[in-house]
Amino acid sequence: MIELKNISYQYQNGEQVLDDFNLTLEPGDKIGLVGPNGSGKTTLFKIIMGLLAPDEGEVIIFDQPREKEEDFIEVRERVGFMFQDSDDLLFCPTVEEDLAFGPLNLGKSKEEAKEIVQETLKLIGMEGFEKKVSYRLSGGQKRMIAFGAILAMQTEVLLLDEPFSGLDEDAIERMVGILNDTDRSYIIVSHNGELIERVTNKLYYMNE
């Protein structure tokens, strides 16, 4: 589903973040990515989504080489990327609109989107939140809605950047349950070694 070959990436200020980096995500893979702050985990996700272009190497997604901006249009429809900062994912006035945004954008009817919103709220344990104002939610509630917004896109692949941070224990258990139940493939970044082991079947460490 995702193949990164010999990827190197350097920011404008000259910092070399990825050097000859290789990674493969196959159907059924639930990959945990562990590494210290600044090791390049978020950078890696941005390269997969085409938000940053690698200096060297190949990005192959769903068996197609992805180079130009237009190559990534399909990637962004078929890979759900949950940003590290949930405020970047919630930009509509209400929770209902934030959850419906992906499905509507992907061509679902208003009726279908409404159904997906209800199913998603039930799944994430937040029934009754549809009319709430997204920006007034607590940090943990926002993160759970951001997770819901990614699930609502119904993509085959998920990239989850520190999804557990700021969640209370109940919400963490709900998220762990959803991740264990899903047959979607994903790459998840977390600092919590115990949690990441519960939701993955492969674990990779990033060094330097």
Q: Considering only residues 23-42, where is the footprint of ligand ADP by CB under 6 A?
A: 35, 37-42
Of residues 14, 71, 84, the one with CA closest to residue 43 = 84
Q: Based on CB atoms, which residue is closest to Mg ion, 41 or 174? A: 41
Minimal distance, residue 102 CB to Mg ion, in Å: 22
Query: What are the residues binding Mg ion (CB under 5 A)?
Result: 41-42
Residue 190 contacts ligand ADP per CB under 6 A: no
Burial (CB < 10 A; 0-12, 13-18, 19+), residue 98, is buried
How far is it, in rounded angstroms, from Cα 208 to Cα 200? 23
Of residues 164, 168, 167, 170, the one with CA closest to residue 196 = 164
Q: Is the dihedral of CA 81, 60, 154, 191 positive or negative?
A: negative
Q: Based on CB atoms, which residue is closest to ligand ADP, 129 or 164? A: 164
Q: Tell me how crowded residue 96 is: count the other CB atoms within 10 A of its CB.
A: 19
How many residues sit close enough to ligand ADP to count as binding (CB under 6 A)?
A: 12
Binding string, residues 35-74; x marks residues near ligand ADP by CB under 6 A? x-xxxxxxx-------------------------------
Residue 11 contacts ligand ADP per CB under 6 A: yes
Give the binding site for ligand ADP (CB under 6 A). 11, 13, 15, 17, 35, 37-43
